[in-house]
């Protein structure tokens, strides 16, 4: 809690004020028309921008007239002085007509308070902040009044409200380094800067220190970082304050603030925007239709926020025969692999990925063939093809068969590529042809899927 200090008017300034007193020559002009200006100033302790001592602030305080004398710069360029009368008002009589300035020295100068013109105001929306002027070098709030012979009255209030915004993420972590946090009062928004010593806490400053706010609706608005939105805004001092939203900003009425020099705090909570972007899933393997002796499945996936799982399901004739998946645990990229053994046949691999929000990627589909059966090799009959029997031959020919197609053979380690066909042949093998040798020979027959059948035989 602070106490209000007296105006910072030093001895030298007082002396200067006396020297600047009205000049007798001007005051004595015989028929000059003059006017009277009555000034009332008040501390807006029930902070509604109006002078109404019948209303009580949460602290128990009420509006109170302030008897620190304003200084009047009359239309003739002279400074005028008046003491508070019995009602606590200042009556300046005999003022020359015309534009007149009324200066209010800051109790905690400069800028420790804000002055506002509440003359004829029906609500805080009608008050107007006084610009900063100067009385003998000291900053003042300065009101301008046109004095006429009917007399004028001026009602000026003083407030010292501060405003702070604590901005945090939903997990309570401070939202540090935000580009745009603004605190508002009157018709103004003030960019707020973050305290070095308190991350996530923002306040508005001007050349004289903290911005002091006009009574009325006190507001905050925040531009959340990309991917976030404002989840909630609350405000409190020692009590919870009533916050309402309009036009993307949040306000509470200053009349709820404990006292007119208090420092209420907004708490702005940011949350991540919902994840509406689905993952992408890519089939890395198989990359051809096969046939494969076994399926090596690999699906890679990515998501903007985090993956839950990657799935690859295998169908045969539209019926699910095998389901495989990997949990990813929230990483933004992941890989699912599965080695699947299946009966021979034609299959469809259907694959996708799901993110943590439940969005599912486009489901990909890929057709493959499984062939886990090795080729069959039979010795051909007929004397022109084969001479000999039971694994020992002068000449031998082989008939090769594979439903998934014969690809190639190796005879004694030497490869011979064959046109890929279900049926194929290796004919007229005898020592000296096709690397065949007298004695033991080894024939390995491969199908397209890589399955191999090995046959050993002896040539005479
Ligand atoms: Ca008030
Ligand atoms: Ca997503
Ligand atoms: Ca086969
Ligand atoms: Ca081939």
Is the residue at 4 inside a domain? no
- Assign 447 to helix, strand or coil: strand
Least confident of 24-38, 61-75, 337-351: 24-38
Among all ligands shown, which has an atom nearest to the Cα of 417?
A: 4
Is the residue at 450 inside a domain? yes
- Extended strands (E) in 127-213: 128-129, 132-135, 138-147, 152-159, 164-169, 180-185, 188-195, 198-206, 209-210
Rg (CA), the chain: 47
Same domain, 46 and 120: yes
Q: What is the 300 CA–ligand 2 centroid distance (Å)?
A: 15
Among all ligands shown, which has an atom nearest to the Cα of 416?
A: 4
DSSP secondary structure, 9-27, as one string? --HHHHHHHHHTSPPHHHH
Same domain, 349 and 430: no
Same domain, 265 and 339: no
Q: What is the pLDDT, as a whole number, of residue 110? A: 72
- Extended strands (E) in 390-429: 392-411, 414-429
Is the residue at 2 inside a domain? no
Among all ligands shown, which has an atom nearest to the Cα of 401?
A: 3
Q: What is the 375 CA–ligand 4 centroid distance (Å)?
A: 13
pLDDT of 148 > 90? The answer is yes
The CATH number of residue 321's host domain is 2.60.40.2550
Q: What is the pLDDT, as a whole number, of residue 208? A: 83
Same domain, 92 and 139: yes
Among all ligands shown, which has an atom nearest to the Cα of 353?
A: 2
- Assign 248 to helix, strand or coil: coil
CB-based contact 241:256 (threshold 8 Å): yes
Q: What is the pLDDT, as a whole number, of residue 207? A: 85
Among all ligands shown, which has an atom nearest to the Cα of 159?
A: 1
Same domain, 75 and 193: no
Of the residues 255, 272, 289, the one at which a domain ends:
272
Of the residues 237, 272, 307, the one at which a domain ends:
272
Strand partners, 156: 41, 117
Q: What confidence category does residue 422 fall into, taking pLDDT thresholds of 50, 70 and 90?
A: very high
CB-based contact 216:125 (threshold 8 Å): yes
CA 427 to chain centre: 74
Is the residue at 263 inside a domain? yes
Same domain, 188 and 294: no
Is the residue at 3 inside a domain? no
Return the residue matching tokens 């692999």: 337
Same domain, 23 and 139: yes
Cα–Cα dist 165/172, whole Å: 14
Q: What is the 323 CA–ligand 2 centroid distance (Å)?
A: 23
Cα–Cα dist 7/104, whole Å: 9
pLDDT of 21 > 60? The answer is no
Q: What is the pLDDT, as a whole number, of residue 109? A: 66
Is the residue at 309 inside a domain? yes
Q: What is the DSSP letter of 63?
A: -
Q: What confidence category does residue 248 fall into, taking pLDDT thresholds of 50, 70 and 90?
A: very high
pLDDT of 19 > 70? The answer is no
- Assign 255 to helix, strand or coil: helix
Of the residues 272, 306, 338, the one at which a domain ends:
272
Q: What is the pLDDT, as a whole number, of residue 304? A: 94
Among all ligands shown, which has an atom nearest to the Cα of 355?
A: 2
Q: What is the 372 CA–ligand 3 centroid distance (Å)?
A: 6
Q: What is the pLDDT, as a whole number, of residue 31? A: 52
Same domain, 144 and 192: no
Is the residue at 409 inside a domain? yes
Q: What is the 60 CA–ligand 1 centroid distance (Å)?
A: 13
Q: What is the pLDDT, as a whole number, of residue 284? A: 98
Q: What is the DSSP letter of 385?
A: T
Q: What is the pLDDT, as a whole number, of residue 257? A: 97
Cα–Cα dist 246/215, whole Å: 18
- What mean pLDDT value characterizes the chain? 92
Q: What is the 82 CA–ligand 1 centroid distance (Å)?
A: 24
Q: What is the 371 CA–ligand 4 centroid distance (Å)?
A: 16
Kindly give the pairing relationship between strand 452-459 and strand 439-447.
antiparallel
Cα–Cα dist 354/306, whole Å: 9
Q: Which two three-digit tokens encode residue 154?
A: 């001026």
Range of the domain at 179: 164-272
Cα–Cα dist 91/392, whole Å: 137
CA 381 to chain centre: 80
Same domain, 201 and 299: no
Cα–Cα dist 377/380, whole Å: 9
Q: Which two three-digit tokens encode residue 157?
A: 């209030």
Cα–Cα dist 450/428, whole Å: 25
Same domain, 354 and 381: no
Q: What is the 257 CA–ligand 1 centroid distance (Å)?
A: 11
Q: What confidence category does residue 397 fall into, taking pLDDT thresholds of 50, 70 and 90?
A: very high
Among all ligands shown, which has an atom nearest to the Cα of 308?
A: 2
Q: What is the pLDDT of residues 336-356, one digit of tens each?
A: 999 999 999 999 999 999 999
The CATH number of residue 454's host domain is 2.60.40.1930
pLDDT of 5 > 90? The answer is no
Q: What is the pLDDT of residues 268-295, one digit of tens each?
A: 999 999 999 999 999 999 999 999 999 9
Return the residue matching tokens 């645990």: 329
pLDDT of 414 > 70? The answer is yes
More confident residue, 460 or 26: 460
Is the residue at 6 inside a domain? no
Q: What is the pLDDT, as a whole number, of residue 11? A: 39
Same domain, 168 and 260: yes
DSSP secondary structure, 284-347, as one string? EE--S---BSSEEEEEEEE-SS-EEEEEEEEEETTEEEEEEEEE-TT-SEEEEEEEE---SEEE
Q: What is the 410 CA–ligand 3 centroid distance (Å)?
A: 16
Q: Which residue, among 114, 112, 72, has the nearest Cα to 93 in the 3D structure?
A: 72
Count up the domains in the chain and report the number.
Answer: 4
pLDDT of 78 > 60? The answer is yes
Same domain, 240 and 296: no
| Percent of the chain residues topping a pLDDT of 70 | 93
């Amino acid at each position: 809690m602070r106490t209000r200090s007296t105006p910072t008017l030093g001895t030298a300034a007082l002396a200067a004020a006396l020297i600047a007193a009205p000049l007798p020559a001007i005051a004595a002009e015989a028929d000059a028309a003059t006017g009277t200006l009555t000034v009332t100033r008040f501390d807006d302790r029930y902070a509604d921008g109006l002078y109404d001592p019948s209303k009580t602030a949460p602290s128990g305080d009420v509006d109170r007239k302030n008897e620190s004398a304003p200084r009047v710069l009359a239309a003739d360029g002279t400074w005028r002085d008046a003491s508070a009368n019995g009602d606590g008002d200042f009556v300046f009589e005999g003022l020359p007509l015309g534009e007149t300035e009324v200066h209010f020295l800051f109790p905690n100068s400069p800028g420790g308070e804000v002055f506002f013109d509440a003359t004829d105001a029906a609500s805080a929306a009608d008050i107007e902040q006084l610009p900063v002027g100067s009385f003998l070098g000291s900053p003042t709030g300065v009101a301008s009044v046109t004095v006429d012979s009917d007399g004028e009255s001026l009602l000026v209030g003083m407030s010292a409200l501060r405003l702070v915004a604590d901005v945090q993420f939903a997990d309570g972590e401070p939202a540090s380094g935000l580009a745009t946090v603004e605190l508002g009062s009157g018709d103004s928004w003030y960019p707020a800067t973050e305290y070095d010593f308190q991350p996530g806490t923002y306040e508005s400053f001007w050349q004289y220190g903290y911005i002091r706010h006009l009574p009325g609706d006190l507001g905050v608005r925040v531009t959340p970082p990309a991917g976030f939105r404002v989840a909630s805004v609350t405000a409190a001092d020692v009590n919870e304050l009533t916050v309402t939203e309009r036009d993307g900003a949040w306000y509470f009425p200053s009349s709820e603030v404990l006292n007119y020099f208090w420092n209420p705090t907004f708490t702005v909570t940011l949350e991540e925007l919902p994840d509406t972007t689905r993952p992408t899933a890519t089939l890395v393997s198989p990359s051809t239709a096969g046939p494969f002796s076994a399926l090596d499945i690999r699906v890679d996936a990515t998501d903007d926020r985090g993956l839950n799982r990657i799935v690859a399901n295998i169908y045969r004739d539209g019926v699910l025969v095998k389901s495989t998946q990997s949990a990813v645990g929230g990483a933004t990229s992941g890989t699912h692999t599965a080695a699947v053994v299946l009966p021979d046949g034609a299959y469809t691999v259907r694959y996708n990925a799901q993110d943590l929000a439940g969005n599912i990627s486009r489901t990909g589909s890929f057709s493959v063939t499984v062939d886990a059966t090795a080729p069959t090799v039979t010795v051909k009959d007929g004397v022109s093809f084969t001479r000999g029997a039971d694994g020992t031959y002068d000449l031998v020919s082989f008939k090769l068969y594979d439903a998934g197609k014969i690809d190639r053979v190796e005879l004694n380690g030497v490869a011979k590529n064959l046109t890929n066909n279900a049926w194929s042949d290796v004919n007229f093998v005898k020592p000296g042809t096709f690397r065949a040798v007298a004695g033991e020979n080894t024939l390995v027959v491969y199908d397209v899927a890589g399955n191999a059948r090995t046959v050993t035989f002896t040539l005479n």
